[in-house]
Each structure stands twice: as C-alpha cells, then as structure tokens.
A = this chain, B = another copy of it.
C-alpha cells in the first residue's frame, strides 16, 4: 500500500511536468536562468523567445522578432477581435475577460493566415530542388486544389499595398545579409508573390501575414507559433481598445447604434396550435 501511494504521488508530480520553469521557495528559474539575472538585462522579445524556444536569441534574431511584434498590434475597431473586446467591457466584465473574449476569436480565419502561410512556405521549401519557380507553381497548384483560391499571406481586401510589408521586408533582407537568417523564406515569399502574378496577371502583393510568416519561418518558429506570436502582438491592440472603451460612457454596447434596427426575415406572426 505504501509503495502504491508513493507511486501515485510520483505520477501526480509527473502529470504537470514542464521544461520551462522551476520554482522553489525564494527561487524562480526560467529555462535554467534565475529570474533575478534576467530582469533588467534581457528585453521582452528576448523573454518571449526564451520562454517559447528554450534558449536566448541573438541580438539580430531578437530585433527581427520585435519588429514583427510591433507591426501586428492593431487593425482597427472593425476587426472582430477588437470590436468584441470593446463590446465586452460595456457588459460589466473585467479587462482580463474582455481581452480573453478578443483573443478567443483569433481562430483559423481571423488569426490563422500567418500560420497557414508558414505551412505553405514550408511546403514550397520541402519541394524545391534547383528550380524554385517551378516548384512554387507546383505547390500552389496543389494548395489551390485543396484549399481554394485564397492564398494566406497574399492580397488584402482593404489595402492595395499593405504598408507594413516594405519595412519588415527590408529588415529581413538586412538580417539575411548579415547572416542572422538564411534568407530562404524571404526568397520563397517573393517567389509565391511572383507566381501569383504569373497566374492571375495582376499583383496580389504580400500582406502582413505573408511577411510575418517569412520572419517567423526565418527565425525557426514552427507554424502554430505563427498564430501564437500574433496573439501576443494583437493582445496589445485588444487591451488598448478595451481600455479606451472603459473611458466612454456606454452600457451594453451592441454592434450598431440602436437607432439602426436589424432585419428580421423569418416567419410571419403566428399562434400556437390551440390543441397543443
């Protein structure tokens, strides 16, 4: 019996095994580093990298990650994640609940294109032999056959040219020149852009998801972390808008002012069967 008990305790301890953080009274170790050695010495993006990757980044890697985090914080109150957080605080919940409500909808369509674009790039990279253009065309054929015509990371329903792409691309190119990154995914991104122009005859330029997918792939993050890092960035916008909304005097803020009614297109007025 006693041995069984010890076995159960061991099992319980192992149930919450982690390689991230070690805590003892008076001690907190992050990936092996005592927290007091990190505070004031590493940047917030360094910490994000250390927590998610296990080691500290080089200065160049950290700067590239930081630029991507800065670029994606917000895209206005019409984005569902932002609108939902603003509506939430008017319903009498706290900031943590409002931020959670916004983050919760960063799903496959609203928060997933960066991740999907990283998967596409990876497919191109795995397929590419000597001829990048040919393999990109092949992968796009296959991708479109499986997923339809919308290519994640390219084209934007609002911006003809996404103003966040050029400065981020310049940073990747610079990081490629100084050896911080290989530049392979930057080339793949540009090739996808070129291939889309070849097959449609018009420009479908890289958007914020396409360029952050380049950066996160160059930095060695796996595709699901593309969504993960976007969440950290967009949380800043979600929090800022929720906070701004709390300063206003609105209660139970719906999607539109109540003077604009919604449309009802269901059945005409009717009564219950009297025999029911």
Say whether A119 faces chain B, with CB atoms less than 8 Å apart: no
Task: Give A252's nearest chain B residue, CB to CB.
Answer: B110
Report whether B271 and A21 are in contact in the complex, using a CB–CB cutoff of 8 Å: no
The interface bits of chain A over 199-230 (1 if a CB of B lies within 8 angstroms of the residue's CB, else 0) are 00000000000000000000000001101100
The interface bits of chain A over 4-41 (1 if a CB of B lies within 8 angstroms of the residue's CB, else 0) are 01101101111111111111011111111111111111
The docked-state distance in angstroms from the alpha carbon of A23 to that of B272 is 18
Say whether A149 faces chain B, with CB atoms less than 8 Å apart: no
Report whether B105 and A256 are in contact in the complex, using a CB–CB cutoff of 8 Å: no
Say whether A260 faces chain B, with CB atoms less than 8 Å apart: yes
Contacts of A61 in B (CB 8 A): none
Report whether B96 and A70 are in contact in the complex, using a CB–CB cutoff of 8 Å: no
- Interface-forming stretch among A72-80, A121-129, A187-195? A72-80
Say whether A235 faces chain B, with CB atoms less than 8 Å apart: yes
How near does chain B come to A16, taking the closest CB pair, in angstroms?
4
- Interface-forming stretch among A84-92, A130-138, A139-147, A176-184? A84-92
Contacts of A254 in B (CB 8 A): 78-80, 83
- The listed residue (B13, B100, B272, B276) touching A262 by CB distance below 8 A is B13
- The listed residue (B23, B112, B224) touching A76 by CB distance below 8 A is B23
The docked-state distance in angstroms from the alpha carbon of A269 to that of B23 is 11
Report whether A96 and B105 are in contact in the complex, using a CB–CB cutoff of 8 Å: yes
- The listed residue (B84, B97, B272) touching A38 by CB distance below 8 A is B272
The docked-state distance in angstroms from the alpha carbon of A35 to that of B36 is 34
Given contacts A20-B266, A109-B91, whether A231 and B96 have CB atoms under 8 Å apart is yes
Report whether B255 and A243 are in contact in the complex, using a CB–CB cutoff of 8 Å: no
Report whether B96 and A272 are in contact in the complex, using a CB–CB cutoff of 8 Å: no
Q: Would you list which residues of chain A between 227 and 276 have a CB under 8 Å from chain B?
A: 227-228, 231-232, 235-237, 239-244, 246, 251-272, 276
Q: Which residues of A contact B (CB under 8 A)?
A: 1-3, 5-6, 8-9, 11-23, 25-48, 51-52, 54, 56, 63, 66-67, 69-71, 73-81, 83-84, 86-88, 90-97, 99-101, 103-112, 157-164, 166-168, 170-171, 224-225, 227-228, 231-232, 235-237, 239-244, 246, 251-272, 276
12 contacts between A and B (CB under 8 A): A2-B3, A8-B260, A23-B76, A41-B276, A43-B66, A84-B87, A91-B105, A95-B224, A96-B106, A97-B105, A99-B228, A101-B104
